[in-house]
Every structure is written in C-alpha cells, then in structure tokens.
Chains A and B, each alone.
Chain A
Amino acid sequence: MENPVVEVKNLEIGYDKTVVLKDISFSVEPGEIFVILGGSGCGKSTLLKHIIGLYNPFKGEILIYGESIVKADENEKRRMMKSFGVTYQGGALFGSLTVGENISLVLEEHTNHSKDEIDKIVDEKLSLVDMDKFRNYMPSEISGGMRKRAGIARAMALDPKLLFFDEPSAGLDPITSAELDRLILDLSKKSGATMVIVTHELDSIFTVADRVIMLDSNSKTMVAEGKPQTLLENPPIPRVKEFLTRSGLKRKHYCD
C-alpha cells in the first residue's frame, strides 16, 4: 500500500487563543478525491489553511508526502508549497494581470521554460478548463465561475499531484456548479492527482467524493469519516444523517 499523500494527526487549530477544531486526524490516499464537509462556520476553510501551511496549528502534526509542514521553516514551507496547487473560493486571481499572465507568472518564477514553452503550457492549461478564449481577459472582466476555472488552471500550472479546493462551487448557480464538479472529476481522471475539497454542497459531495470527513461546530471536531453513501446509510450520529439528507428533503419539497 502506498503512503498517504496528506496525513493529519491529532490537530488542534484556531485563531488567537480560540480553539476552532480539535482532535482532527485523517489521511488522504494517493489519487482519491477527499472531501472535508460541514456546516457554515465549522472551520472547514480554517482547517484547509492550516493543512496548506498558511497558519500553524496549536497542536498536532500535518504531513504532506511524509514531510511535516508544521515544523518546516519558511524556505522549506515555500518548497513544499510548490508541490501542490490550491484554488480559492473566489479564484484569487491577481487583479493586475490577465488570465493568461496569472498562469504564466507561476511558470516564469518556478521553471526555466522559454517564453514559447510557457505560452504553450498556458494555452494547454486554459483549454483544460475550457477557458482558452479568455486568455487576454482581466479577472474583473470574467464571471465568478470563469474565475474559479482560471484559478484551477493556475493551480495546475506546475502539474502538481496534489490539489486543494476551497469551496469550489460556492456562489455558483446549480448548472455552473455541476459543470465544475464534472471538471474536477475529469481532471482527476486525466492527471491522477489527489484532490482535497472543502465544501458544504451536498450535490458536489455525492458527485465527486471518494471519501469524506464531516466537521461539527458544536463539538468542534470531526464527527464522521467514510464514503458518502455509507455515511448516509449508516450515520455514526444522527447529526450526520440530518446534514446529508437535508438538501435531499429540501429538493423533494421544492419539486413537489
């Protein structure tokens, strides 16, 4: 069996002195689509920001490819960060650069490719997310969904084998959201990359997730881990079932 790509051990995290989550332990296996789910304000994005090394936890350990990002100094952290890609809620494209420049910047800074090679890679990445026609657009000139897709293309610029997504479908209409889910599945199949997704969109979870953990704001810890369908059928606590079925009930209600 291969070593886990991400390992989180007995993590306790928060801001200032306030604990947001504690006793968090899980591992992400190579090639799987792993979803961190939970209600609004339960600390999903905070957990993600700790995993990718933006913040240091109060306690515990985070290993990326077996290497501790918690104990790494700034230079080591920077080196580790180059080994994975991150997409943010709003895309986080640099507003002063075009969509194409956002991607080429990563390549200019971290590779020795010639300008022509960089241009070719940028085109490739943009066509992967169906954004090749928008290469010369400024981020302010494209829609929220497009910004997220461009953000994915930028995260994939260095062909990382590990990708993190922070709320990829937040704020999108159901059709765009479903398209983005299909894009994630497609990218996972084509690149074989491991993906860690933070979301509370149940449709996305059931579409893309191989395995999930669920966080709970009341107990400030993870309350479930497993395949989404298994958790739906055999929830460890009622709250998990309640969370996983609520959107189903709502959908049924609206359809009726």
Chain B
Amino acid sequence: MTGRRKRALIHLADATLKFGKDCTDLLSFTGELADCLYHAVKNPKKIRWRETLYYMDMCGSDALPIVGAICFLMGLILGFQTAVQMAKYGGDIYTADLVAYSITKELGALMVAMIATGRAGSAFAAEIGTMKVSEEIDAMATMGFVPFRFLVVPKIIAMVTVIPILTVFGDIAGIFGGFIVGTLKLGIPAITYFNRTIEVLTAMAFVQGIVKSAVFALIIGCVGCMRGFQSSCDAQGVGRSATSAVVTSIFMVVIADAVLTFLFTSLGY
C-alpha cells in the first residue's frame, strides 16, 4: 500500500471514529436531557423559569427583525424566480401557489432554523464553554446541582416554544415577499393574489412547517449545549465549540428536514 493511500485510510478511520463518538455523545446527551425533562414535567416548580424567559427573549423577540427581513427577501426572490418561469406559460397566478407552499412547508422553517443556529446555537455553545473555563460548571456540580437542569432545560424549553412561533412569523413575512412581486411586478390584483394564497394553503402545510421547526429547535438547542459541554477549557476551545455547534446543527437540521419531508410525503401530505 502506498504512503498516500495509507494516510487516506488513516484519515478515513479517524473521521469514522470521530463521527461514531459524536453520535454516541449525542445519544447519551439526549438520554440525559430526556431524564431532566421528565423531572421538569414532574416538578414544574423546579424549572428555572427566569432563565427560560430570558432565553425566550433572546432566541425569540430579539430575532424578529432578522427573521422578518430574511424570510421577506426569501419570498421576494422565490416570487421573482417563479414569475420569470411562469410568465413563459402565462401562469403568473401560480406564483402565489409556489411561494405559499414553499415558504410554509419548507423554507420558512429552514430559514428560521438557520438564523437560530447562527444566533442561539453558537451562543449556547460559547456560554456553556465559557462557564467551563471559569469553573462555574464545576462549582454547580460541587454545590450538588445537576448542571443539565440549570443550563440545558431552560434553553431547550425556550427554543422549542419560540422557534415555531418565529416560523409562523417568518411564513407570513415570506408570503408577503411573494405578494409584493405578484402585485407590483406581475400586476396581479392584490385581492386576487391574496384569495389565491388562501385558497391553496392548507392547515396541514402550516402544521408541517411548525412540526419541522420544533424538531429543528430541539436539534439546535441540543447540539449547541452539547458542544458547549464538550469545549476544552481555553479560549480557542470555546471558539471551536461555537463553530462546531453551527456546522453540526446545519448538517443535522438538513438531515432531519429530508427525513421529515419524506415522512410527510409518504403519509400523503
């Protein structure tokens, strides 16, 4: 075997081992989280509600402007691209169908997840990583606390609550983007575009997007916190854990999206 092939094999083996370890870490993290969430449901008074509200504010209301802007622009772009193709066949009005379906079923949830990954996922990893550096997590453990209950549960509750709400907001902003193209560029009367959108949109399309966004929120929250706990105790380690949280979250969100889309399509939705 040549030296280059040998090195490639070693790299492949390393990458496989690392991926395997990541998977087992995520599984054990999810198990621990499930245990903590079970205890939280049994004792709601023990949930750190103040921290939960703080994270709801941070991941939710603080993200409204950027979610609104990005989803609006996404609807606008989608509207333009669709309009160009549809105009060839005289089917301008179908722009409303495509924008409404794509945004509610897919793009709204996905765009909000990407924004949440950049804002919240990396912030969670950096926050927990920094707490590790300053020995706050050690202090929690020696005070007889379960760090998971203090650091992970409030973030997960906040994410799973606010990300679906943000997605609904993003959906509306995206549809409005398409509406602007439809009415201003294609000259479709506003009431016609609006009626067409209402006509084609089903409740299930919205539900699909919301279910997806809740799953994405869980993934982003878990990965962000897990990477924070895995951070080494130095500044570079915190930086690496934040980067890794973003990359892993995006990868896992896309995989989850593919699985959920396949599932919903198989069920006939």
Interface residues of A (CB under 8 A from B): 49, 52-54, 78-79, 81-82, 84, 86, 88-90, 92-96, 106, 109-110, 151, 154
Contact = CB atoms under 8 A, between A and B. Distances in A.
A206 B138 CA distance: 29
19 contacts: A49-B138, A52-B142, A54-B138, A54-B141, A54-B142, A78-B146, A81-B143, A81-B144, A82-B143, A86-B138, A86-B139, A86-B142, A88-B135, A88-B138, A92-B135, A92-B136, A92-B139, A95-B131, A109-B145
Interface in B44-75: 51, 54
Given A90-B134, A92-B134, A96-B51, A79 B139 contact: no
Contacts of B140: 94
A141 to B, nearest CB: 16
Nearest to A53: B142
Chain B contact-residue range equals: 10 to 19
Interface of B: 51, 54, 131, 134-136, 138-146
Contacts of B141: 54, 81
Contacts of A96: 51, 54
A89 B133 CA distance: 11
A78 B144 contact: yes
What DSSP secondary structure best describes chain A's contact surface? loop
A94 B144 CA distance: 15
A95 B144 contact: no
A44 B145 CA distance: 24
Q: Which 6 A-B pairs have the closest CB atoms?
A: A92-B139, A82-B144, A92-B135, A88-B135, A86-B142, A78-B144
B107 to A, nearest CB: 35
Contacts of A88: 135, 138-139
B144 A110 contact: yes
Contacts of B145: 109
A81 B134 contact: no
Nearest to B136: A92
Contacts of B135: 88-90, 92
A84 B144 CA distance: 10
Given A82-B143, A86-B139, A90-B134, 20 more contacts: A54-B138, A78-B144, A81-B141, A81-B142, A82-B144, A86-B143, A88-B135, A88-B138, A88-B139, A89-B135, A92-B139, A93-B136, A94-B136, A95-B134, A95-B136, A96-B51, A106-B143, A109-B143, A109-B145, A110-B144
A134 B7 CA distance: 59
Contacts of A86: 138-139, 142-143
A78 B147 CA distance: 11
Nearest to B139: A92
Which of A53, A78, A84, A154 has most B Cβ within 10 Å? A78
Contacts of A95: 131, 134, 136
A248 to B, nearest CB: 31
Contacts of A81: 141-144
A110 B144 CA distance: 9
Nearest to A82: B144
Contacts of A93: 136
A208 B1 CA distance: 65
A54 B141 CA distance: 8
B63 to A, nearest CB: 20
A90 B135 CA distance: 8
Nearest to B48: A105
Contacts of B139: 86, 88, 92, 94, 151
A53 B138 CA distance: 10
A86 B139 CA distance: 7
